[in-house]
Structure 1
Amino acid sequence: MAKHIASLGGDAYVIPTGSHGRQIHYHPHIYSHQELRALFDAADAIQFSPYGGQRQLIIPVMFRMIYCLGLRPGEARRLHRNDVDFEHGSVLIRESKGHKDRMVFMSPDLHQYCRHYDAAIDSFHPDRISFFPNHHGHFYSKGTPDRWFHELLDAAGSVIVASPGSPPRPYDLRHAHVIEVINRGVRAGRSPEALVAYLSLHLGHSDTEDTWYYFHLAADFHPELRGIANASIESLFPEAHHEIR
């Protein structure tokens, strides 16, 4: 509009090219174990709907994969059937953020859980391409996991308490996964430097600074980790930073 006014000879300020708008900083909801239990119990209680495909089979598996593997919700939604290798227990994430592929591995429990799901959904969509097929056998739309997630939140009721201005999102399950990995690793004596290098590959980050963000989210820092979290990542392990980039 400003350009149009200026073209007519009016006095208008045109925002310079490359200027960024105001960024809204979202504070992720960090789920407690009790909240996660309530969320997955709600997923397991989902009922069949004639408009949602085999949602009673899909919802429990999709959200468990997001949490257990640290997937972005869109990565789970876009999984192809042949991306999940039941022989080796691996999951290929195609064309992730930054157009990079990566491989993640299922725990034995998740591996078996997904195997049961695959056999069950196969009876409805034997020739499907999508791992999570809609009622037509195709991929679900982008907004579907969000709608399902809000249904789970409603079913979980007062167990999940949201912070003002930061309602829980499906993406926060990825945050919960990473924080659990960090805390478990530090308690087991793994060095934070090694954890960052591993998580960068596991999460599909092209820059370890993106991974470092999760260390600041961890609620129960190990004393050593708390000190390192305020340091510069490049000064701690420049070799790993250069190699992963």
Structure 2
Amino acid sequence: MDSSTKISGNCVNALPAPPPPRRLLDQLSDRIRLKHYSLRTEQAYCGWVRRFILFHNKRHPREMGAHEVEAFLTHLAVAGRVSASTQNQAKSALLFLYKEVLVTELPWLDDVESAKASKRLPVVLTPEEVQRLLVLIEGTAGLILRLLYGTGMRIMECLRLRVKDVDFARGEILVREGKGFKDRVTMLPNTLTAPLKSHLARVKALHDEDLAAGYGEVYLPWALARKYPNAAREWAWQYVFVAARRSVDPRSGAVRRHHVEAQSIQRAMRNALHQAAISKPATPHTLRHSFATCLLESGYDIRTVQELLGHADVATTMIYTHVLHRGGRGVRSPLDALA
């Protein structure tokens, strides 16, 4: 008799069928969330695993190994002409799949070659170029870009700022869970104190409207929503730079007001670069490079700059010594000395 049935007296009771096994990509998403990776990482890893499976005619990854992984990475480099960093991201996604989801401990996992990334100097804007750029950008985008240049934050660090992370009394900004899940403190520029206070007053009014309409919750990381049930509605936990509209959380389905999208800030800077006739391939991250270079040019200690940027190794900060605006490596030419 079928194991899914049970005989009781004269009747046969059907036991509930076992739930169907979860799809591989769902298992991958579950594991990524368990490791507390970001939504962007989850989307990227799932995308690479999907492409890997389709590339090999929908074969299950458990049936494949080093040869198939290398063939896929080679295809990306040769036919797709992707950059080394993109190829390495695809490799990381596949290794995560095999190690964390399929729990496959095979010796070839660590032997798959990584693409060698080019060592390039960062693009840096001069203070005059930054001034020409920022004068063309107003509103929230202008305030965000001014903060990036004035604090050295990464764009997502800035967009994820909470109200409680801005300390006007001490003139500080606490950057939570930056790269490598590390916290750090950076300065709050004096010139941005008044504009930021005015901006927060407008955000507070918007938050009050959301609360009156039955909304007003914000995303809370980890298990804080369960630990502090009322924190999601509190003003201190709201994002400093909120989106103009409420949206649906792709993971939980909750309707919330998220932070501003990075693409809108990138678009605003791209338009301003065109208007200012600046030919450098600059992005919002370029303002972080310009912040570091300006501090070094002003004579600040490289260890101080390292701490403000949140670099784990001072060697990472040393790259800015190669782009100081005093000639190659900041060295004065002997010809100028003769003059």
State whether structure 2 residue 267 is matched by structure 1 residue 161. Answer: no
How far the C-alpha of 1:24 sits from its partner, in A, is 4.3
> 2:115 maps to what in 1?
21
Matches within 5 A, 1:80-95: 80-95=162-177
- Higher normalized contact order (CA 8 Å, seq sep 6+, divided by chain length): 1
What TM-score results when the alignment is normalised by the length of structure 2?
0.51
Match of 2:190?
Answer: 108
Distance 2:196 2:328 in 1: 33
Q: Within 5 Å, which residues of 2 pair with 1:92-171?
A: 92-126=174-208, 127=235, 129-135=238-244, 136=246, 137-156=257-276, 158=277, 160-162=278-280, 167-171=281-285
Q: Is the 8 A contact 1:183 1:221 kept in 2?
A: no
Q: Give the match for residue 43 of structure 1.
A: 137
* Contact 1:78 1:130 (C-alpha < 8 Å) held by counterparts: yes
- Judging changes above 3 Å, is the alpha-carbon distance between structure 1 residues 150 and 120 closer, same or farther for their aligned structure 2 residues? same
> CA–CA distance in 2 between the matches of 1:110 and 1:42?
17
State the Cα distance separating 1:70 from its structure 2 match.
Answer: 0.7
* Shift, 1:97, TM fit: 0.8
The structure that has the greater radius of gyration is 2
Aligned to 1:210: 316
Deviation by residue 1:24-61 (Cα, 9 ceiling, x = unmatched): 445433212332122111112xxxxxxxxxxx3x1111
Contact 1:72 1:174 in 2 (8 A): yes
SS at match of 1:103: strand
Distance (whole Å) between structure 1 residues aligned to residue 298 and residue 275 of structure 2: 29
Aligned residue type for 1:31: L
Amino acid at match of 2:324: A
Hey, what does 1:49 align to over in structure 2?
A: none
User: 1:91 touches 1:106 (CA, 8 Å); kept in 2?
Assistant: yes
SS of match in other structure, 1:63 = helix
Say which of 264, 288, 296 aligns to 1:182: 296
Structure 1 spans left out of the alignment, 5+ residues = 45-55, 228-245
Comparing 109-118 and 74-83, the one that deviates more: 109-118
Please tell me the residue identity of whatever aligns with 1:110.
Answer: L
TM-score, scaled relative to structure 1 = 0.69
3-state SS, counterpart of residue 59 of structure 1: helix
Q: Which amino acid aligns with 1:130?
A: Y
Contact 1:132 1:139 in 2 (8 A): yes
Q: Deviations over 1:73-107 (max 9, x none)?
A: 11111111211112222111011111100011213
Q: CA RMSD in A?
A: 3.0
Task: Name the counterpart of 2:125.
Answer: 31
Cα contact 1:133–1:139 (8 A) shared by 2: yes
Q: Say whether the 8 Å CA contact 1:70–1:174 is kept in structure 2.
A: yes
Conserved 8 A contact 1:28-1:168: no
Question: What is the CA–CA distance in structure 1 between the aligned matches of 2:170 and 2:325, rounded to whole Å?
Answer: 34
| Matched AA of 1:207 | D
Tell me if structure 1 keeps the 8 A contact 2:239–2:258. yes
Aligned-pair distance for 1:142? 4.0
Letter in 2 for 1:40: L
Structure 1 SS opposite 2:135: helix
Flag structure 2 segments of 5+ consecutive residues without an equivalent: 1-54, 72-107, 209-234, 247-256, 333-339
Cα pair 2:171 2:187 within 8 Å, conserved: yes
